[in-house]
Amino acid sequence: MPISLGELATQFGCELIGDPDVVVNGVASLSGAAPDSLSFLSNVALKDQLRTTKAGAVILRAADADASPVASLIHDDPYACYARMAAVVCPPAVVEPGIHASAVVAESARVADSAQIAANVVVGDRSVIGESVFLGPGTVVGPDCTVGDECRLIANVTLARSVVMGVRGILHPGVVIGADGFGNAMTPEGWVKVPQLGGVRIGDDVEIGANSTVDCGALDDTVIEDGVRIDNLCMIAHNVRIGAHTALAAMVGIAGSTTIGKRCLFAGKGGAVGHITVCDDVIVAARTFLSKDVVKPGTYAASFPATDAKSWARQLARFRRLGDLIDRVKKLEKGGD
């Protein structure tokens, strides 16, 4: 959407150095930008690219403005400012109210007039679809769900049943919310399924990546608090609670009944075992799992980065012979007595 630098500066509280009437109509990286592109400099390692950019304007810190050959929008946090401006310059697809002829909506469901229900969507009994919601093609909303205003379920999303979403949520394709948790009781005749009867409660402004799953609770609800961000192929088990503004990168798994605090960060393939409590402001490194309660904010790690395979084989052999080494040291200690 075309917008002038003057309007952007006013709307987002930036100082503008340059012509307020210049119009941008797209966003781009510094090196890929054209004269109608808005760009940004956040990582100072890219400052060289700033000097030669052809962007219409660059969002940057005051300290970097001197190096800009083009108009500058000054902001203390150029990346966050860029994120907000980009949503204006390149807005998401407009919701086109109405229910597609191929969609199947239960009689007992309630769909706001301003919502868009796309082709082949199914909405189940007693579910409520809020204002300006977008239910993308192939999406299935099971019974007893609530989808808050302005949520977007992109395509082929499944809310199994009893899922309550706050406002402005985004669920990417293939996401499954509210499927049964993994509850089984062993008996002499084999596993007996433990009925999973809770639901899922999702706060406002939550985004969940493609093919991630959030199971319903066994008796109580699984809870995702406001502002949580979950990447692709993550697994949130039954009765988990994820604190507000926590972010989980791809392929993270949180096992059943675990509580994760607010503003935590899990890097890719990280996770936590079940039935533990993790305090606020915990960072978990890539491929690291928490095995017990965490009561102290900070960064936690336990992974081995790759090395060449021959060195690794030697290293693994040494590791396995640690007991021998300890015995040898003991022997030396005795000999030295």
Q: Which of 83, 96, 108, 293 binds its own copies (CB under 8 A)?
A: 83
Query: Which is closer to its own copies, CB of 20 or CB of 52?
Result: 52
From the list 9-17, 47-55, 64-72, 284-292, the region that binds its own copies by CB under 8 A is: 284-292
**Residue 82: burial class (beta carbons within 10 Å; 0-12, 13-18, 19+):** buried
Residue 301 binding its own copies, by CB under 8 A: yes
Residues in 11-50 at the binding interface with its own copies, rule: CB under 8 A: 27-29, 32
Contact 308, 290 (CB under 8 A): no
Q: Which of 23, 67, 86, 112 binds its own copies (CB under 8 A)?
A: 86
Residues in 98-137 at the binding interface with its own copies, rule: CB under 8 A: 100, 102, 104, 118-120, 122, 124, 136-137
Query: Which is closer to its own copies, CB of 80 or CB of 112?
Result: 80
The one catalytic residue in 75, 172, 238, 245 is: 238
Give long-range contacts, CB 8 A cutoff, 24+ apart: 325-328.
none
Q: Which of 70, 115, 133, 251 binds its own copies (CB under 8 A)?
A: 251
284's CB contacts (< 8 A; 6+ apart) are 264, 265, 266, 267, 270, 271, 272, 290, 299, 300, 301
Contact 202, 163 (CB under 8 A): yes
* 100 assigned to active site: no
The token pair at 152 is 């977007």
Residue 286 binding its own copies, by CB under 8 A: yes
Report how far residue 231's alpha carbon sits from residue 181's, in angstroms, rounded to the nearest whole number.
20
Residue 1 binding its own copies, by CB under 8 A: no
Lookup result for tokens 């490194």: 285
Cα 309–chain centre separation: 34
Triad 286, 229, 10: Cα angle to 5°: 120
Distance of closest approach, residue 51 Cβ to its own copies, in angstroms = 19
Q: Which of 176, 200, 202, 240 binds its own copies (CB under 8 A)?
A: 176
Residue 332 binding its own copies, by CB under 8 A: yes
Residue 142 binding its own copies, by CB under 8 A: yes
List active site positions: 238
